[in-house]
Amino acid sequence: MNFDYQEIDDVIHSRIRTSIMALLVSLEEAEFNFIKEKVNATDGNLSVHLKKLEEAGYVSVKKLFVDRKPVSKYKVSNKGYKAFENYIKQLESIVKKNN
C-alpha cells in the first residue's frame, strides 16, 4: 500500500482531532468534559473540532439532560472507525516508505 502524504485525511489530521479520534475509538462513548480533560482543550476549541468531526460523519453526538444539566455524549461512527483506521495505515505507509 503506497500513499502520498497529500492523501492524508485533513479532517482527522490535526493534533486535537487526532487525539479525539484516538480516544473515542477506544471507548463506547465519552462526555464532552471527559474528552476536554483528556485532550487538554478549551471548551470553545474542543467544540469546533468535534463539530468538524461530526460534520464529516466521523462522530455522532447525543445531547441529554442529567440533573437538569446539559450533557453531550460523543461516539465514533462506523464511517469514523474506517476513516481513522485508514488514516493510521496512511501514516504507517509514509513512515515505512521513508525508512
Going from N- to C-terminal start, the domains of the chain cover: 5-97
Provide the pLDDT confidence category of residue 3 given band limits of 50, 70 and 90: low
As a CATH number, domain 5-97 is: 1.10.10.10
Q: Which pLDDT belongs to residue 5?
A: 63
76 beta partners? 59
Please give the model's pTM, rounded to 2 decimal places.
Answer: 0.88
Residue 50 Ramachandran class (φ > 0 left, ψ -120 to 50 alpha, else beta) = alpha
Instruction: Give phi and psi for 73, each to the nearest 5.
Output: -115, 135
State the pLDDT at residue 4.
63
pLDDT digits (tens, 9 = 90+) for 17-56: 999 999 999 999 999 999 999 999 999 999 999 999 999 9
- Whole-number pLDDT of residue 64: 93
